[in-house]
């Protein structure tokens, strides 16, 4: 069924009896052409684009819990394409363009809201680095502006301009950056994929992979064996666990990232603000809560929960930047498991096992990548060659010395 | 002023009257009141509006689970949005305003949403606002955002201070009701260190709200006596107004103490709140239980509250929420409310017991309850005129903190509620109502047992006092099917039974989908009263059991926490400590401009009289240095003392180049790689003795390099004889540079430092000013004849003054980081912009420094093809072809005529300065195949500003490329 | 020594003493400090030489007082040795000649700012500043800890007597943190 | 978290800096091993959900590198050793 304002009104007048399930609950079939492991944003988008853009069929998405229950349902909802390096920027810009048409594409309002993102500058060296980055963004067709201190002040007069340990000296802004209602992304892709015949199978955990003569034959699951011509794994956070079923070790560590939301407040933060002298970024949701985050906890973890030091560190950054939020109350803290890769950039690649494909290593940049990740992974699965914007996301880049290291931290996953 | 609904009794101090205002109207209350109890005493039931439909609301609870009675407390910079009136302690002069209404609480224009509720069902926004596309950001979203939120932020700096602290104990008891008090008493009497924390300002928990006796005293009196006994024990710490907010790993609990929230303003110097990290291997959660309502049509009117709250207001605060009341219950506990109110002389007009087939099916009263309609077992309906209705749907144990490690609670059918399961944070036991033991006697017993178990106490258990031990008699009822209006589950977010039904209809049946789609439990109360009802209804609809349906995940904090508390003192200028250089005080006297470099404050430049532009000062400092002599405080560079018989061999491993061959009394530039072959750091390292080196690092990497060296020493080569210690702050170190550097130093150094005696790259211990130990290194970052001289830090200030005074004939100047930067760029030395963690030695033109003759960190992986590409980036110098042309660091290189697209991107400018010596801008940059482009012309383009400058590519050594000056 | 006038870590000629209620915070500039680390495999030699020279080498997490040398443990086989500054400004050289090749010795005097805290009971102050379980650790306890982001050595001489060594460049920030906590507590 | 330091007893994890998998001790010899071996050493991780041996540095403490055996699902710490002892036991010398 198509969603629209007219439909909402019509249903309201007839007691909402006409709304249909947003997705079916099919039983798994014995075999598919494509099995996507992971019913998060990336997996659902992959299935959708496989069906829609690449005209494939016989597709299933296997989700161990509930659809959208991974990091797509536990992030800070920011979208942007303000990357520096050639390996990244085209991909994220492609993603941002897909976000811009997503609602019409999916006929689902995920509230893509481009209210702008600023990265604050506190030192001359940061200004130089952001100038380099802003230029790289424009060279790749993205939008960027360098703001003076006064321009930032006009935008957000209540930031700490007058009593700061690290004074604000300006900002790099991407006006097209913004936020998206995260759960709706998963639901929108799920609904659209379901409508194109993709089987979305919840409560179906992959427990093994059947590999014969170097070729994938299917996956063992808690709901039995499911045969597959091709298997795409998109389970960021659990990548090492799932790929271990295929005997692979990855250039990835799992780390916990905490995120935060306050009680609902009348609007006062329009866009997204990233503090350049502490670990803190923030936006305000359409519901009024301040949504913010900071650094990962820094140790390997699959626990989906974190500890006080990072909570305090994030709050300190928040108060240093916005002394007006001292009396605002933190409502909820949650933790997601990040695939922290060795250079801070993702992997979308074939594996040594024929028919087995991998998508992961998103660090904490996975949400904004959702549409492009799905598209590029579908491209790889359907055509067996990388999408032009995702060509650099190879496993062998570490062997060849072609790292995509935005932060320049080297093979130290918890510093990316 | 009278308080019409104030009745006898209660734990308030009627001898004192407190004045306060709500929405500008003055009222009175007493010490011991909360804002809610005082308002109710004054006959005010309407305290807020709901989020979506702007329904008029009053408090439903008497505690921190309150979803409705949220106010903006205080004013001005202290304005505190979304404060629960039910826990806000009354103080004289308190000011509160209602929120999320316009123009007034009674007449709220946005209540139109309530009329349109048929359109605003769960998730309606996902289905609309998509056409036309451009309207989302311009029309629809701004409209939605305007309606967002409840209270508002002041936008001014929070004037109050917050502290943090650390506490340690043998046993942390969370909650001071009967179970917690008994646990603390048991542990305290056994001599153990106990912390008893309770979020309330009065210990006793439900005992304060009930009329039960313990032994032969009233429960509240027993609590007070127990608290007094505990207070007499020096090893017991009683913490009222202290909410434990979370259980973290390994026995660390977060707790927030509201030190001054019950005062108009905190006393001078004192914090508003304190974040305590409590370290305790053993803890007992005795956080009690929270009553839940029953969903029925129009169950959200002001005056309808939880039965336990209705009785708490009567018993603890001496307040009747209305003169005529009724009770609706599915369990025996609700009957207590009727009994207690009757005993207080309040008229109880009806007790509706669903176990007899009686239910409430509707209510009336727009701004406050006026009447209820009930349906009896025979299907007959009747109406009663009432001002308050107590509702009891049973009690939910507060399992929250026990579930912070993601343990799932288990369903206990006997009390029709979730109780803590077998898993949970290690060391955390649960007692009393939190464990699902709902009687007073049970609380005392399990509190005592838990303390004994937690602390392995032996010996006979103490005799417990007599106390109420009634069984729980409940017949679950989640919602009333009869009746026509909406039945609320989550009152703040306006989630009703029909929203749950719609979620089911659309297949959002997972409990997480239910929550996220309907927003059930996402309000400021986190669903403490509503969640279980919602999932129970979903269970009914799907034919699953409640435990099969399950709960969502419990997350910290248990109650919302002010962000200021979590930040503590780390804000404003105190966000991070300062590091001051030895010349800081001197520079301050000179009116220096300082710059943040990491934690350090360094002199950026020192303006002289008449200089109006920073460039004037910097140019002068550079020219004076190059002309005669300049001094710069370089103490911030990291210094690491490396000793041991293997010190030389160790340096060979950690540096790409060789140090074991360095003669004693010499220093050498060292290049340090990461294991991935990228340049990590650089600096000079001197050999001061056979087994003694002193390494310098960059300011930025001092800590990371030290950590890395310790890793190499302990983890990679544990048998090497190497000892490390940082000496960064032990020595004040100054660079003395310029043609007259030696002449100036000769004025202070006691030894011969002629070129012969102390040649280029010499290093050694010397003395200054008649015998003070010092170190001298003949190294140059500026390209001039230069030295670095170090003395014990306390003498740094004096040495600087002495050099300036004794060398006055040379007109020495002190230069800051800007001039330092100019001179190093002129010389092509790499620093921050080039040492970016992405560049190799080859990129920097230092490829030959990586010795392949020995194993060193990063040597092997630096040879990967991607890092040795002949077309890769190389460090170059850059100047504008037109000497008036301007350069900007961060600009990108493009060929002349090339379109500004990524395919034509050749690199970027890493650092840019104005060279007063050369008289134009110069820059360093990374340029693709830059080593083969020297002499070529291209453009440096800054697309952010439109700057497009034709440049010439130079060797990075733009000043004195032969190095004649530094050897002079 | 020489003609150079020393400056304290707080940028003054004389050490600072501040009081707040029952608390006294006294800056100490009269302590010489050096690190002593055993060379690999030379611990026995170092121990013997130290014994002979009267340099205590206490167990982990401990401080041992003596005359003229006191010391506290900072790392495996590594100590900070204290002595009176007036007589031992050249502490590193003095220790080198006393301990010989068995140890690596480095002057540390001016790397730190020293504060002595005195009050009838320091526990209420310290619990706002660091996670040392102060009432429980014995006198003679020495540890590194963190106060307001600063790494600090804390030596407990008694329930009301503590020596702190903080990074010298952050002396102002450390003192500010101590005074702020004092105002908050006392 | 609290790390039971083998010398100093329980210490708050906040005093430590985390590096990662303790396999980083097993650095190949650069004079004999090639790029592939170093690649596997530096980049490839087992990243188990369960017991994990990992390196922590007591930066705000005694500067010991520790090998902590910790469950990455529950965060329970099962064993803590001085990294130097582990390195020696694994045959590392000079």
Query: For chain D, which residues make up each domain, given as ranges?
Result: 2-89
In angstroms, the CA A48 to CA B81 distance is 43
Given the structure tokens 């959708």, which residue do they identify? A48
Residue B733 resides in a domain: no
CB contact under 8 A, D42 and B676: yes
Residue B557 resides in a domain: yes
Residues B286 and B167 in one domain: yes
| Per CATH, domain C17-29+111-185 is 3.40.50.300 | no
How much is the mean pLDDT over chain C?
97
| Cα nearest neighbour of A122 on chain B | B596
Distance of CA B777 to the CA centre of its chain: 45
Domain that holds residue B80: 18-126
Residue B431 resides in a domain: yes
Q: What is the CATH number of the domain that holds B102?
A: 3.10.20.440
Question: Partners for C (CB, 8 Å, 3+ pairs)?
Answer: B, D
Given the structure tokens 């299933």, which residue do they identify? A60
In angstroms, the CA B517 to CA B960 distance is 69
* Continuous H helices in chain D: 35-43, 83-89
Residue B13 resides in a domain: no
CB contact under 8 A, C144 and D64: no
A310 touches chain D (CB under 8 A): no
* Continuous H helices in chain C: 43-53, 85-88, 91-99, 123-126, 171-185
Residue B617 resides in a domain: no
Q: Which residue in the set D9, D12, D59 is minimally distant from C131, CB to CB?
A: D12
Residues B657 and B512 in one domain: no
CB B674 within 8 A of CB A410: yes
CB B169 within 8 A of CB B237: yes
Can you tell me whether residue B840 is helix, strand or coil? Answer: coil
| Cα nearest neighbour of B653 on chain D | D30
Give the pLDDT band (50/70/90) at residue C91: very high
Q: Which residues contact B654 (CB under 8 A, 6 or more apart)?
A: B672, B708, B709, B712, B856, B857
| Cα nearest neighbour of D10 on chain B | B250
In angstroms, the CA B754 to CA B769 distance is 17
Q: What is the CATH code for C33-108?
A: 3.30.70.1520
CB B734 within 8 A of CB B631: yes
Residues B71 and B100 in one domain: yes
Q: CB B138: neighbour CB atoms within 10 A?
A: 10
Give the pLDDT of residue B1. Answer: 56
Q: CB B64: neighbour CB atoms within 10 A?
A: 18
Enumerate the domain spans of chain C: 17-29+111-185, 33-108
Q: CB C137: neighbour CB atoms within 10 A?
A: 14
Starting at the edge strand found earlier in the chain, the sheet holding A252-264 runs: A145-148, A170-174, A117-121, A272-274, A281-284, A289-300, A252-264, A329-341, B561-562
For residue C29, list chain B residues with Cβ-Cβ distance below 8 A. Answer: 794
**Mutate which of D61, D88, D92 to disrupt the C interface (most C C-beta within 10 Å)?**
D61
CB contact under 8 A, A139 and B900: yes
Domain C-terminal end among B70, B102, B126 = B126
Tell me which DSSP letter residue A19 carries.
Answer: P
Give the start-end residues of each E strand in chain C.
Answer: 17-20, 23-28, 31-38, 63-64, 70-75, 78-84, 103-107, 112-118, 141-147, 150-158, 161-167
Strand B593-597 versus strand B600-605 pairing type: antiparallel
Domain C17-29+111-185 identical in fold to domain C33-108? no
In angstroms, the CA B960 to CA B962 distance is 5
Residues B174 and B288 in one domain: yes
Encoding tokens for residue B900?
A: 């500004």
Residues B86 and B105 in one domain: yes
Which domains does chain A carry? Answer: 17-81+84-106+182-250+345-415 (3.50.50.60), 117-178+253-341 (3.30.9.10)
D17 touches chain C (CB under 8 A): no
CB contact under 8 A, B644 and C8: no
3-state helix/strand/coil string of B17-69: CEEEEECCEEEEECCCCEHHHHHHHCCCCCCEECCCCCCEECCCCCCCCCCCC
ipTM over 0.95: yes
CB B706 within 8 A of CB B726: yes
**Mutate which of B647, B721, B730 to disrupt the C interface (most C C-beta within 10 Å)?**
B730
Q: What is the CATH number of the domain that holds B211?
A: 3.50.50.60
| Separation of first and last alpha carbons in chain C | 41
CB contact under 8 A, D20 and A399: no
pTM of the model: 0.97
In angstroms, the CA B952 to CA B216 distance is 97
In angstroms, the CA B806 to CA B795 distance is 16
CB B889 within 8 A of CB B942: no
Burial C39-70 (b: 16+ CB within 10 A, else e): bbebeebbeebbeeeebbbbebbbbbeeeebb
Residue B407 resides in a domain: yes
In angstroms, the CA A355 to CA B206 distance is 63
The CATH architecture that domain D2-89 belongs to is: 2-Layer Sandwich (3.30)
Q: Mean pLDDT of residues grouped by 10 in chain B (968 residues)?
A: 90 97 98 98 97 97 98 97 98 97 93 92 92 87 88 95 98 98 98 98 98 96 98 98 98 98 96 98 98 98 98 98 96 98 97 98 97 96 98 98 95 97 96 98 98 95 93 97 93 97 97 97 95 97 95 94 98 97 98 97 97 97 98 98 98 98 98 98 97 97 98 98 98 98 98 97 97 97 95 98 98 98 96 96 97 98 98 98 97 98 98 96 98 98 98 95 83
Radius of gyration of chain D from its Cα atoms, rounded to whole angstroms: 14
**Mutate which of D45, D51, D60 to disrupt the A interface (most A C-beta within 10 Å)?**
D45
Residue B808 resides in a domain: no
C1, pLDDT greater than 50: no
In angstroms, the CA B784 to CA B666 distance is 18
B30, C106, C111, C114, D62 from C31: Cα distances, Å? 58, 15, 12, 8, 22
In angstroms, the CA B78 to CA B84 distance is 15
Return the axis-axis angle of helices B307-317 and B332-343, rounded to nearest 10°.
Answer: 30
Residues B117 and B203 in one domain: no
B142, B365, C151 from C76: Cα distances, Å? 62, 75, 18
Q: CB B232: neighbour CB atoms within 10 A?
A: 9
Give the pLDDT of residue B355. Answer: 98
How much is the mean pLDDT over chain D?
98
Can you tell me whether residue A244 is helix, strand or coil? Answer: helix
Q: Which residue in the set D30, D31, D57 is minimally distant from B707, CB to CB?
A: D57
Q: Which residue in the set A67, A327, A408 is minimally distant from B562, CB to CB?
A: A327
Percentage of chain A beyond pLDDT 90 is 99
Residue B113 resides in a domain: yes
Question: How many domains are there within chain B?
Answer: 6
A241, pLDDT greater than 90: yes
Cβ-Cβ pairs closer than 8 A, B with C, add up to 159
Show which of residues 358-377 on chain A sit within 8 Å of chain D, judged by CB atoms: none
B130 touches chain D (CB under 8 A): no
């Amino acid at each position: 069924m198509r969603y629209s304002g007219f439909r909402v009104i019509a249903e309201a007048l007839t007691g909402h009896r006409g709304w249909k399930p947003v997705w079916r609950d099919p039983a798994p079939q014995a075999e598919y052409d494509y099995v996507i492991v992971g019913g998060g944003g990336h997996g659902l988008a992959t299935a959708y684009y496989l069906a829609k853009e690449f005209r494939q069929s016989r597709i299933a998405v296997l989700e161990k819990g509930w659809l959208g229950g991974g990091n797509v349902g536990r992030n800070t909802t920011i979208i942007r394409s303000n990357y520096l390096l050639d390996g990244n920027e085209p991909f994220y810009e492609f993603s941002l363009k897909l976000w811009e048409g997503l609602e019409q594409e999916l006929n689902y309002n995920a509230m893509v809201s481009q209210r702008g993102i600023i990265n604050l500058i506190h030192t001359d060296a940061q200004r130089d680095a952001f100038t380099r980055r802003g230029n790289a963004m424009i060279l790749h067709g993205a939008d960027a502006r360098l703001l003076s201190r006064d321009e930032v002040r006009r935008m957000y007069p209540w930031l700490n301009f007058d009593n700061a340990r690290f004074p604000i000296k300006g900002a790099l802004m991407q006006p097209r950056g913004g936020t998206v209602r995260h759960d709706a992304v998963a639901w929108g892709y799920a609904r659209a994929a379901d409508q194109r015949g993709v089987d979305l199978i919840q409560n179906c955990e992959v427990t093994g992979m059947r590999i014969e003569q170097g070729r994938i034959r299917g996956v063992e699951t808690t709901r039995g064996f499911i045969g597959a011509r091709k298997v795409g794994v998109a389970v960021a956070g659990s990548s090492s666990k799932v790929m271990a079923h295929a005997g692979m070790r990855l250039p990835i560590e799992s780390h916990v990232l905490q995120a935060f939301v306050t009680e609902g407040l009348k609007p006062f933060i329009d866009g997204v603000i990233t503090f350049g002298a502490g670990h803190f970024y923030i936006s305000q949701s359409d519901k009024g809560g301040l949504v913010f985050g900071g650094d990962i906890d820094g140790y390997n973890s699959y626990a989906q929960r974190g500890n006080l030091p990072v909570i305090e560190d994030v709050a300190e950054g928040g108060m240093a930047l916005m002394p007006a939020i001292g009396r605002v109350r933190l409502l909820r803290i949650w933790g997601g498991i990040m695939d922290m890769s060795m250079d801070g950039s993702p992997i979308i690649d074939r594996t040594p096992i024929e028919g087995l494909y991998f998508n992961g290593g998103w660090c904490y940049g996975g949400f904004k990548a959702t549409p492009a990740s799905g598209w590029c992974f579908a491209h790889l699965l359907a055509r067996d060659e990388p999408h032009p914007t995702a060509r650099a996301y190879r496993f062998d880049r570490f062997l060849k010395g072609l790292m995509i290291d935005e932060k320049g931290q080297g093979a130290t996953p918890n510093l990316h | 002023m009278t308080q019409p609904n104030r009745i006898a009794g209660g734990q308030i101090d009627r001898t004192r009257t407190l004045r306060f205002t709500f929405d500008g109207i003055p009222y009175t209350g007493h010490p011991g009141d909360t804002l809610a109890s005082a308002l109710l005493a004054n006959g005010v039931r309407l305290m807020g509006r709901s989020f979506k439909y702007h329904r008029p609301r009053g408090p439903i609870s008497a505690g921190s689970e309150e979803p409705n009675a949220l106010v903006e407390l205080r004013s001005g910079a202290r304005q505190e949005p979304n404060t629960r009136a039910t826990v806000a302690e009354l103080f004289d002069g308190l000011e509160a305003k209602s929120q999320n209404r316009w123009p007034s609480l009674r007449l709220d224009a946005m209540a139109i949403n309530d009329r349109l509720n048929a359109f605003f069902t769960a998730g309606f926004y996902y289905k609309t606002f998509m056409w036309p596309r451009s309207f989302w950001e311009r029309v629809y979203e701004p409209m939605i955002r305007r309606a967002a939120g409840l209270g508002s932020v002041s936008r001014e700096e929070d004037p109050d201070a917050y502290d943090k602290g650390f506490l340690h104990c043998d046993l942390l008891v969370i909650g001071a009701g009967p179970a917690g008090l008994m646990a603390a008493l048991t542990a305290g009497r056994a001599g153990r260190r106990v912390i008893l924390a309770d979020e309330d300002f009065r210990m006793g928990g439900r005992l304060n709200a009930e009329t039960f006796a313990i032994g032969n005293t009233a429960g509240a009196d027993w609590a007070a006596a127990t608290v007094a006994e505990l207070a007499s024990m020096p090893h017991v710490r009683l913490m009222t107004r202290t909410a434990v907010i979370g259980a973290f790993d390994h026995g660390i609990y977060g707790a927030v103490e509201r030190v001054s929230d019950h005062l108009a303003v905190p006393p001078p110097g004192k914090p508003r709140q304190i974040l305590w990290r409590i370290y305790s291997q053993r803890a007992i959660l005795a956080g009690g239980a929270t009553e839940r309502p029953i969903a029925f049509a129009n169950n959200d009117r002001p005056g309808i509250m939880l039965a336990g709250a209705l009785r708490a207001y009567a018993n603890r605060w001496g307040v009747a929420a209305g003169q005529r009341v009724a009770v609706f219950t599915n369990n025996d506990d609700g009957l207590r409310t009727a009994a207690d109110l009757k005993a207080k002389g309040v008229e109880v007009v009806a007790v509706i017991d669903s176990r007899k087939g009686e239910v409430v099916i509707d209510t009336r009263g727009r701004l406050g309850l006026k009447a209820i309609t009930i349906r009896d077992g025979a299907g007959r309906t009747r109406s009663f005129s009432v001002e308050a209705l107590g509702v009891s749907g049973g009690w939910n144990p507060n399992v929250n903190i026990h579930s912070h490690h993601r343990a799932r609670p288990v369903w206990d059918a006997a009390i029709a509620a979730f109780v803590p399961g077998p898993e949970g944070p290690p060391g955390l036991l649960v007692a009393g109502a939190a464990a699902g033991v709902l009687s007073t006697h049970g609380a005392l017993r399990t509190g005592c047992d838990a303390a004994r178990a937690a602390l392995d106490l032996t010996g006979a258990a103490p005799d417990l006092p007599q106390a109420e031990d009634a069984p729980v008699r409940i017949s679950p009822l989640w919602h009333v099917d009869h009746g026509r209006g909406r039945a609320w589950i989550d009152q703040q977010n306006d989630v009703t039974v029909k929203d749950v039904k719609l979620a089911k209809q659309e297949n959002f049946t997972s409990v997480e989908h239910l929550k996220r789609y309907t927003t059930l439990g996402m309000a400021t109360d986190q669903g403490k009263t509503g969640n279980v009802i919602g999932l129970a209804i979903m269970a009914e609809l799907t034919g699953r059991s409640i435990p099969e349906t399950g709960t969502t995940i419990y997350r910290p904090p248990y109650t919302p926490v002010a962000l200021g508390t979590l930040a503590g003192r780390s804000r404003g200028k105190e966000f991070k400590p300062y590091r001051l250089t030895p010349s800081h005080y001197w520079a301050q006297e000179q009116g220096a401009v300082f710059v943040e470099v990491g934690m350090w404050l360094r002199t950026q430049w020192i303006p002289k009289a008449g200089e109006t532009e920073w460039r004037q000062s910097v140019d002068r400092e550079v020219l004076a240095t190059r002309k005669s002599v300049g001094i710069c405080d370089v103490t911030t560079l990291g210094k690491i003392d490396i000793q041991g018989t293997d010190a030389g061999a160790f340096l060979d491993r950690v540096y790409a180049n060789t140090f074991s061959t360095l003669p004693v009394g010499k220093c050498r530039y060292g290049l340090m790689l990461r294991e991935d072959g990228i340049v990590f750091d650089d600096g000079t390292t001197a050999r001061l003795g056979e087994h003694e080196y002193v390494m310098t690092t960059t300011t930025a990497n001092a800590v990371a390099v030290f950590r890395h060296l310790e890793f190499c020493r302990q983890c990679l080569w544990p048998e090497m004889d190497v000892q490390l210690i940082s000496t960064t702050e032990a020595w004040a170190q100054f660079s003395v540079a310029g043609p007259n550097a030696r002449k100036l130093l000769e004025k202070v150094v006691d030894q011969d430092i002629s070129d012969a005696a102390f040649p280029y790259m010499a290093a050694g211990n010397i003395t200054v000013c008649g015998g003070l130990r010092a170190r001298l290194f003949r190294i140059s970052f500026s390209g001039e004849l230069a030295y670095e001289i170090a003395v014990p830090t306390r003498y740094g200030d004096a040495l600087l003054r002495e050099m300036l005074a004794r060398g006055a004939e040379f007109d020495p100047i002190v230069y800051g980081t800007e001039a330092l930067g100019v001179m190093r760029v002129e010389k092509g030395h790499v620093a921050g912009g080039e040492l970016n963690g992405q560049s190799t030695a080859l990129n920097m033109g230092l490829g030959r420094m990586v010795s392949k003759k020995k194993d060193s960190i990063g040597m092997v992986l630096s040879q990967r093809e991607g890092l040795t590409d002949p077309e890769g980036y190389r460090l170059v110098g850059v100047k504008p072809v037109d000497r008036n042309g301007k350069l900007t660091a961060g600009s990108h290189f493009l060929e002349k005529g090339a379109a500004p697209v990524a395919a034509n991107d050749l690199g970027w400018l890493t650092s840019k300065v104005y060279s007063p010596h050369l008289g134009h801008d110069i820059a360093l940059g990374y340029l693709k195949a830059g080593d083969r482009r020297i002499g070529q012309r291209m453009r440096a383009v800054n697309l952010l500003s439109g700057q497009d400058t034709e440049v010439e590519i130079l060797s990075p050594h733009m000043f004195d490329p032969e190095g004649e000056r530094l050897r002079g | 020594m020489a003609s150079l006038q020393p400056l304290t870590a707080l940028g003054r000629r004389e050490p600072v003493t501040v009081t707040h209620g029952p608390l006294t915070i006294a800056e100490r500039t009269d302590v010489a400090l050096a690190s002593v680390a055993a060379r690999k495999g030379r611990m026995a030699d170092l121990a013997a030489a130290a014994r002979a020279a009267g340099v205590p080498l206490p167990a982990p997490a401990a401080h041992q007082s003596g005359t003229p040398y006191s010391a506290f443990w900072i790392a495996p086989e590594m100590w900070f040795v204290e002595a009176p500054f007036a007589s031992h400004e050249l502490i590193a050289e003095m220790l080198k000649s006393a301990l010989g090749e068995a140890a690596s010795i480095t002057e540390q005097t001016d790397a730190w700012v020293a504060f002595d805290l005195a009050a009838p009971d320091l526990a209420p102050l310290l619990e706002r500043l660091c996670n040392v379980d102060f009432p429980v650790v014995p006198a003679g306890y020495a540890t590194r800890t963190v106060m307001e982001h600063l790494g600090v050595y804390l030596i407990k001489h008694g329930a009301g007597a503590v020596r702190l060594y903080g990074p010298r460049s952050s002396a102002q920030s450390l003192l500010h943190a101590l005074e702020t906590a004092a105002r908050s507590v006392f | 978290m609290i790390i039971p330091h083998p010398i100093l007893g329980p210490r708050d994890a906040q005093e430590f800096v985390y590096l990662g998998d303790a396999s980083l001790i097993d650095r190949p010899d650069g004079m004999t091993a090639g790029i592939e071996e170093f690649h596997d050493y530096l980049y490839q991780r087992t990243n188990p959900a369960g017991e994990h041996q990992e390196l922590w540095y007591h930066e705000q403490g005694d500067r010991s590198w520790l090998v902590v055996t910790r469950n990455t699902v529950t965060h329970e710490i099962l064993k803590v050793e001085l990294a130097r002892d582990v390195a020696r036991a694994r045959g590392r010398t000079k």
